[in-house]
Amino acid sequence: MREKRALTRQRLLALVFACLSGLLTLSIVLFACISTGVIPLGTTNTHATPGMMTPSPTPEPTPIPPSVLTVVGGAPPIDAKAAYLLDTDTGNVLDDQNAEQPLPMASTTKIMTALVVIEAANLKQEVTVSPDIPQYVFQHNGSNAKLVPGDTLTINDLLYALMLPSGDDAAIVLARAVAGSSDAFVGMMNCFALRHHLFQTHFINPDGLTYYDANGKPLPGHYSSARDLARLTAYALSNPLFAKIVGTRQYDLAWSPKHGAYHWTNTNDLFNLYPATTGVKTGFTNEAGYCLVFSATRDHHHLVGTVLFSSDTDTNQRFRDAKTLLEWGFGLPMLPAY
């Protein structure tokens, strides 16, 4: 019996000694880990002290800014009184030459006319040309689509008559169809300009013709700026129908019982001078000179620009000015946008 008790005590002492040895070994390991800043697997360092080594976070890669057309130096000289060139992909202004000055803009007015019609009207609506339309065009010495009184055309077809041959007759027909009168339609145009922050723009008619008072002086109040016209056009080109119309070189409307046959050709000769051209609108009056709002696409870049009063005698100078700006703009270096 005494031998069994002695054996039990020995086993207990051996077990206690083994536990103490294990605790001592664990203490030594933990001390070594803490001293070197290494945390054993399965433990958490919730009481880090200064000077202890902690794992460094993985650095985030620095984002690379996109490359954009970047102005280096000045724009080339042109003849226009005012000019503006906009990169519509980025919103960056590439050229601004007197672009905030309000000036007469002639038939580039019709960009706004077309846009208001497209956004407000039923394009399938049929409209009959009234008898007074030819006299209106003759009285104001305007350009026309040679619409025949009594012919009935859709608003969609009339938009081509407006934008390709620059029909002042089509402008009046459309204005009356959409708003009931030219004056009411002009009110819509001016409201649109204000809503889109075109504060250097105001209209008194839907066609861009110069109206004169009894003394033969031009009536004031019809003007825009190169900047406003370019920004208006950049917005307008986001509308697929507008972009399609201004990019059309010729439009044929076959004879039908409702109207005669029509053939309209685009007045924008920039198509011939600069193959990357995608639109938009010419203009001329004695007061405005030869004007052009233009757009082009090259190497996946999209530019929109304006030249106002490039000349009062040479119709082609506006196209040369536009080509000069486009070649310069598309030739700018691609640099990171910071």
Q: Check pLDDT > 80 for residue 36.
A: no
What would the pLDDT profile of 154-168 be if each residue is shown by its tens digit?
Answer: 999 999 999 999 999
Mean pLDDT for the chain?
Answer: 90
DSSP state of 207: S
What would the pLDDT profile of 184-208 be if each residue is shown by its tens digit?
Answer: 999 999 999 999 999 999 999 999 9
Nearest to 279 by CA among 262, 257, 296: 296
Question: Nearest 5°: CA angle at 259, between 188 and 124?
Answer: 45
Annotated binding site: 281
Q: Which fold has domain 69-336?
A: Beta-lactamase (3.40.710)
Better-predicted residue by pLDDT, 127 or 39: 127
Q: What is the pLDDT of residue 116?
A: 99
Q: What is the pLDDT of residue 15?
A: 55
Catalytic residue among 81, 143, 166, 295: 166
Catalytic residue among 81, 110, 182, 323: 110
What would the pLDDT profile of 165-182 be if each residue is shown by its tens digit?
Answer: 999 999 999 999 999 999
The pLDDT confidence band at residue 25, using thresholds 50, 70 and 90, is low
Catalytic residue among 81, 107, 182, 323: 107
Better-predicted residue by pLDDT, 241 or 64: 241
Q: How far apart are CA 280 and CA 169, in angstroms?
A: 19
Q: How far apart are CA 163 and CA 237, in angstroms?
A: 13
Within the chain, all domains assigned CATH 3.40.710.10 are found at 69-336
Q: Check pLDDT > 90 for residue 49.
A: no
Question: Taking residues 29-54, what's their average pLDDT?
Answer: 51
Catalytic site includes residue 107: yes
| Token duo for residue 38 | 């290494």
Write the CA distances from 189 to 73, 90, 318, integer angstroms. Answer: 37, 27, 26
Q: Check pLDDT > 80 for residue 17.
A: no
Q: What is the pLDDT of residue 62?
A: 76
Nearest to 204 by CA among 183, 224, 225: 183
| Contacts with 49 (C-beta within 8 Å, 6 or more apart), sequence order | none
Annotated binding site for substrate: 281
The pLDDT confidence band at residue 42, using thresholds 50, 70 and 90, is very low
What would the pLDDT profile of 128-161 be if each residue is shown by its tens digit?
Answer: 999 999 999 999 999 999 999 999 999 999 999 9
Better-predicted residue by pLDDT, 49 or 116: 116
Q: Check pLDDT > 60 for residue 32.
A: no
Q: What is the pLDDT of residue 196?
A: 97
Q: Check pLDDT > 90 for residue 337.
A: no
Share of the chain above pLDDT 90, in %: 80
Instruction: Determine the 3-state secondary structure of 291 from DSSP.
Output: strand
Catalytic site includes residue 166: yes
Q: Check pLDDT > 60 for residue 33.
A: no
Q: Read off the amino acid at residue 206.
A: P
Catalytic site includes residue 110: yes
The pLDDT confidence band at residue 28, using thresholds 50, 70 and 90, is low
pTM (2 d.p.): 0.82
The pLDDT confidence band at residue 50, using thresholds 50, 70 and 90, is low
Q: What is the pLDDT of residue 41?
A: 47
Q: Read off the amino acid at residue 236.
A: A
**Strands, E, within 37-129: which ranges?**
67-69, 82-87, 92-97, 126-128
Question: Taking residues 59-72, what's their average pLDDT?
Answer: 86
